[in-house]
């Protein structure tokens, strides 16, 4: 478990923190839309989403036939019933999009995607050399700056226990850089809200950063070339953290009004907390981080294959392996499919809670959700052992988010056929809609290239 002091040093001196200084890409990222900032919540889940699981049970015969044959479908959600696991979103259909048919073959597939599903590249099992570019969450964070810039939360583990503290994450601030994330609710609470809960610690951090800045400045005066450039980046990163801390101290009054409540069970890493309890606490922290303005972008790995599942309703006494579920292993007489559905239901209840909480917070002439996009998606495509031919997304977007997709079930043409779209096209759409005019984000699909199908750019019909 990392201490605050060791994390500060890592943040200031590691390659990951170099991204805190404005990069060339950030300077030329384009201008964000005027008005309120847009917010993005990326929620990654493991074990895939099988396309049939997101299909609408009330499809007519023709719609069902087209969907099963993976042909284009576009229907109004208000005229249809949602799948059971998505029912918590019934009241939000006009903002909901069920997006089927995107592919992610250019990212890592199989059990894990690491950084690649959010960067549209092969990451080499998340090796630093394999991290090719800043992931999409960091790219949108550049468009809407905030004190923290980007916050990553992660409920992951080693099959029997959860990770705790500050650990390596899955997002990437830039090429060959790995982000850090908060692995348990108490650590996330302590670090994100310490300007209110422990202001003395912020003063201590600033003193340490001043010391580090002095050390690095001395080194910079005595070396040349590439090493001098690295030290200069370190100094810029230290200054960025100091600047952030000053902003946090000014926001302390607002933060104090929206502190999340964290139950005692989460103390000391929350080793006795159930999985639903951990998810509830992380959601509370995520909402507060957005409402207080600490960040406009949160990435949340709600589970991965090695995340232990304890306390699942109906299987409270079981220690469930998500990996075992992927191999059709059930527990206590409950089938793997049913348990997978219960896990998804729990996830979507958290998504609904985020939507409902943000809708209650006034902003401009509306509410905070009006300016928010939430994406719930599988890190590894269409199944436990995925091939990347399909990567279903559940999207909730507010009225001001410049996306013309709300209230619809959309199935795009199947992989490597005319009109097919990849996650690269989808991420390009998000960037173009919100101020970054990039021609194309991510790597191209090799099979699409061989067949000479157009795969560059945004999905034009999705732009509002």
Nearest to 98 by CA among 405, 399, 384, 381: 405
Q: Are residues 284 and 390 in the same domain?
A: yes
Q: Are residues 447 and 353 in the same domain?
A: yes
For the record, the structure tokens of 199 come out as: 């202001």
Q: Using the 3D structure, point to which of 214, 236, 258 is the last residue of a domain.
A: 258
CATH of the domain at 405: 3.40.720
The residue among 203, 155, 129, 144 whose CA lies nearest residue 26 is 144
For 446, counting Cβ atoms within 10 Å of its Cβ (0-12 exposed, 13-18 middle, 19+ buried), the class is exposed
pLDDT surpasses 70 at 390: yes
Which of 153-157, 251-255, 368-372, 383-387 is predicted least confidently? 251-255
Are residues 274 and 320 both part of a single domain?
yes
> How many domains in the chain?
2
Residues 332 and 288 in one domain: yes
Domain end point (choices 208, 233, 258): 258
User: In terms of domains, do 18 and 147 share one?
Assistant: no
Residue 235, pLDDT score = 43
The torsion angles phi and psi of 391, rounded to 5 degrees, stand at: -145, 85
Token couple for 441: 């984000």
Cβ neighbours for 282, distance < 8 A, ≥ 6 positions apart:
153, 155, 185, 188, 300, 302
Q: What is the mean pLDDT of residues 145-168?
A: 94
Which of 34-38, 100-104, 224-228, 275-279 has the weakest average pLDDT?
Answer: 224-228
User: Do 377 and 434 lie in a common domain?
Assistant: yes
Same domain, 294 and 234: no
Rounded average pLDDT over 137-143: 97
Residue 402 confidence (pLDDT) above 80: yes
Average pLDDT, the chain: 87
pLDDT digit string, tens, across residues 411-422: 999 999 999 999
Residues 422 and 300 grouped into a single domain? yes
Q: How far is 162 from 155, CA to CA, in rounded Å?
A: 7
Query: DSSP string of 37-104?
Result: PPEEEEEEESS---HHHHS-TT--HHHHHHHHTT--EEEEGGGSPPPGGGGGGGGGGGGEEEEE--B-
Say how many residues make up the chain: 464
Arithmetic mean of pLDDT, 306-310: 97
Same domain, 344 and 242: no
Tokens of 353: 């809670």
Q: Are residues 23 and 171 in the same domain?
A: no
* Confidence band, pLDDT 50/70/90 cuts, at residue 309: very high
pLDDT of residue 211 exceeding 70, the answer is no
Q: d(Cα 364, Cα 167) in Å, to the nearest integer?
A: 37
pLDDT for the residue 35: 76
Quick: pLDDT tens for 318-335: 999 999 999 999 999 999
Note the pTM of the prediction, 2 decimals: 0.88
Which pair of tokens denotes residue 78? 């208000």
229 lies in the same domain as 275: no
Q: At what angle are helices 225-250 and 4-13 packed, to 10 degrees?
A: 130
Give residue 210's pLDDT: 52
pLDDT of 242 above 80: no
Over residues 87-116, the pLDDT tens digits come to 999 999 999 999 999 999 999 988 989 999
Same domain, 406 and 342: yes
pLDDT of residue 261: 94
Residue 24 is part of which domain span? 1-30+199-258
Q: Pick from 229, 258, 287: which residue ends a domain?
A: 258
């Amino acid at each position: 478990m990392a201490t605050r002091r060791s994390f500060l040093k890592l943040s200031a001196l590691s390659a990951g923190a170099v991204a805190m200084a404005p990069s060339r890409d950030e300077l030329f990222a384009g201008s964000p839309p005027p008005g309120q900032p847009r917010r993005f919540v990326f929620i990654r889940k493991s074990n895939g989403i099988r396309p049939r699981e997101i299909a609408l049970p009330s499809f007519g015969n023709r719609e069902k036939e087209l969907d099963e044959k993976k042909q284009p479908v576009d229907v109004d959600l208000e005229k249809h019933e949602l799948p059971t696991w998505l029912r918590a979103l019934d009241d939000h259909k006009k903002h909901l999009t069920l997006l089927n048919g995107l592919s992610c073959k250019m990212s890592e597939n199989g059990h894990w995607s690491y950084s690649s599903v959010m960067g549209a590249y092969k990451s080499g099992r998340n090796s630093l050399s394999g991290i090719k570019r800043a992931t999409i969450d960091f790219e949108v964070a550049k468009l809407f700056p905030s004190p923290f810039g980007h916050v990553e939360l992660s409920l992951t583990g080693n099959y029997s226990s959860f990770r705790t503290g500050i650990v390596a994450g899955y997002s990437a601030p830039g090429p060959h850089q790995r982000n850090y994330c908060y692995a348990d609710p108490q650590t996330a609470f302590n670090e994100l809200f310490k300007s209110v809960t422990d202001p003395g610690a912020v003063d201590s951090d600033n003193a340490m950063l001043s010391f580090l800045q002095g050390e690095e400045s001395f080194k910079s005066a005595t070396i040349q070339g590439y090493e001098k450039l690295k030290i200069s980046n370190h100094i810029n990163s230290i200054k960025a953290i100091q600047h952030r801390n000053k902003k946090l101290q000014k926001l302390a009054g607002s933060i104090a009004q929206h502190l999340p409540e964290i139950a005692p069970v989460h103390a000391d890493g929350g080793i006795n907390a159930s999985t639903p309890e951990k998810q509830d606490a992380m959601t509370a922290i995520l909402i507060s981080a957005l409402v207080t303005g600490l960040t406009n972008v949160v990435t949340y790995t709600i589970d991965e294959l090695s995340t232990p599942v304890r306390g699942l309703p109906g299987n409270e006494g079981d220690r469930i392996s998500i990996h075992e579920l992927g191999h059709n292993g059930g527990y206590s007489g409950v089938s793997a499919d049913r348990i997978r559905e219960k896990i998804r239901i729990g996830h979507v209840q958290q998504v609904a809670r985020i939507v409902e909480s943000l809708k209650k917070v006034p902003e401009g002439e509306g509410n905070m959700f009006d300016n928010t996009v939430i994406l719930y998606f599988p890190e590894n495509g269409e199944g436990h052992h995925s091939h990347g031919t399909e990567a279903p997304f559940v999207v909730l977007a507010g009225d001001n988010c410049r996306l013309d997709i709300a209230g619809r079930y959309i199935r795009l043409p199947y992989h490597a056929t005319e009109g097919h779209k990849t996650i690269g096209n989808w991420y390009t759409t998000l960037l173009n809609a919100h101020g970054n005019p990039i021609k194309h984000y991510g790597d191209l699909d090799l099979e699409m290239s061989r067949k000479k199908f157009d795969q560059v750019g945004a999905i034009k019909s999705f732009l509002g």
